[in-house]
Structure 1
Amino acid sequence: MAESESENRPQQQQQQPASESLPTASQAQTPGPRASRLIQVFDQALARTLRANSYSNFASCFPTPARHVPASLESVWRQLNAKLEESARAEFEEIIAEREAVQHLNELDRLVAEARARREKESENGNGTQSVNPPHTLGADELYNAHLTPYLQEAQSTLNKTLESTHAQNTELAQTVQAQRLEIEKLLSHLETVVTDIDGAASAATQFSKEHHIRQDAVQMDEEVNTQPSV
């Protein structure tokens, strides 16, 4: 127990400078409204996390030590929570320092205050001109449409050009198909004429062949008659 207390003292001594490192990270600046709110949200989230890791929940995971050595188990639980809180705060403060979150949030506070002051001054000294809505006052839908409209217009223009080109190509293809269809009809008509001529030639050849065979038969019969001896 004495060793655990001696180990906890350096941790507590190291924890105190770490908690004070936020204001001293920049000697000329202290956390403004937004930075303070960020730290407050972190503290609340860490507190809820530590409350969720209560001793009853921790002891329910180790029922045997909870019955026999509850004091030792409670000491382990306290050391675990202290270590968890210390490491979480150290990591959070390291991120705050690396990202210069306090300086940036304070700069944002300053810019917002200056913009609000300018708007109030312009409102007091207004000359009747129509006011323009500042970007930070626009809603999510308006900002979304404002960012998306240029891309949609460009996409629409590209799509229109593509459609026009496709329509021209389709027209050209239709004309080509029509010309090929007419050519095919002409070829079919010519082919029908050729087929008719061939059929006529075939019929004439068949008729000639039949007449030729008849003539040959007649000549052969005459020859046979002439070759027979007279009675």
Structure 2
Amino acid sequence: MAEQSSQATGAPPPLGLRASRLHQVFDQALARTLRANSFANFASCFPTPSRHVPASLENVWRQLNAKLEESAKAEFEEIIAEREAVGHLNELDRLVNEARERKNAEGKNGEGQKTGNAPHTLGADELFKAHLTPYLQEVQSSLNEKLEETHVQNAELAQTVQKQRLEIEQLLSHLESVVSDIEGAATASTNFSAENHLREDAVQMDEELNVRPGL
């Protein structure tokens, strides 16, 4: 009834046992991925910024992790909504519970007794459920495959982050080279100014000597 009410209002259905477990597995996998990209590991890739601007580097690390987490969760929720996974898993929970209750009831009736297991004795609703169960199991298998794909995509995202680290490191190395060139140019300019000053003094002394008579 709660699921029908949520469908009528357009709200997502509440999470059943299997749907909750699916979200839990995803959250655990994502948490492991984010833990692997710790600040210590991230900072070890950029020793120069980690020594001189650790706060800025940590801010970059936090933004990268937040973006990774946001993208992974958004894609996961998109897959769940597209496949209507929560509703199907909730229906599977209901069918499993009914089957368990029916099995317990049959056990109470005594061994060897059959209580309406013949197909021609089943009602339309029970036949529908019997045909629906394999489909729901297939959906669950498909969701497991999608979850595995999400793990692979998370690994690819981690590789992308690593490439970005290398690019940032190359950029910082280039900046250090530019700073070194600027410092060299400043030193050369200072030396040139000093030499030019000495040259002017020599010219002035020569002019003074030429002006004096008898020299």
> Which is greater in Rg?
1
TM-score under structure 2 length normalisation: 0.47
Q: Whose RCO is larger (CA < 8 A, sep 6+)?
A: 2
